[in-house]
Amino acid sequence: MPFARKEGLKIRIRHADIERRVRAVAGQITKDFKGQRVHLIGVLKGACFFLADLAREIDLETSIDFIAVASYGKKKDSSGQVRMLKDLDNNVAGLNVILVEDILDTGLTANYLLRILRQRRPKTLSLAALLDKPSRRLKPVKGDYIGFTIPDEFVVGYGLDYAERYRNLKDVCVLQPPPQ
């Protein structure tokens, strides 16, 4: 029996559907930045699978970098603080920066990172996320490139974890009952 089934996980978005959407999002990026270079910034760790697949479907000169943050209190209220754990390796001034997230939830992380990145004077700044849970928003954030809009369910897989588990699942699955 597959590991996810043994764990009682229910498939919510199949890998084939993820692949199809990733190709479509990459196609849109390729069109929007025709003839230019894009610089993808992945937010560790959840975004690394999406970024890796997205980057390979973009038909443009593409560079990548990673950033890591820690959030506190975001599950409870809007006072959640975000702190940087690992900064970028490279300067983004003058680049077409696309911040790449696995999921937009409360919006605290993306809101904080977009603010920081804007201060560094990229040529353009956009936001891509595989999943968007708009019903959970505490800070206003709008993705420019969204894979799937989903209801408020606890999802894991394709980069998303529960206590560091399940990131390597190919499908996005629902954890039931949700963790307390």
Binding site for ligand PRP (CB under 6 A): 43-46, 71, 74, 101-110, 161
Asked whether the beta carbons of 41 and 67 are under 8 A apart, the reply is yes
In angstroms, what is the minimal distance from the CB of 139 to ligand PRP?
A: 8
Of the residues 105, 132, 144, 171, which is catalytic?
Answer: 105
Asked whether the beta carbons of 124 and 108 are under 8 A apart, the reply is no
Neighbours of 5 (CB within 10 A): 11
In angstroms, what is the minimal distance from the CB of 74 to ligand PRP?
A: 5
- Phi, psi (degrees; rounded to nearest 5) at 157: 100, 165
Tokens for 86, please give them.
Answer: 């690992």
Q: Which is nearer to ligand PRP, 4 or 60 (CB)?
A: 4
Neighbours of 28 (CB within 10 A): 14
Which position's Cβ is nearest ligand PRP?
46
Active-site residue 87, yes or no?
no
In angstroms, what is the minimal distance from the CB of 61 to ligand PRP?
A: 26
Side chain identity at residue 29, one-letter code: I
Q: Which is nearer to ligand PRP, 21 or 134 (CB)?
A: 134
Q: Which residues are catalytic?
A: 105
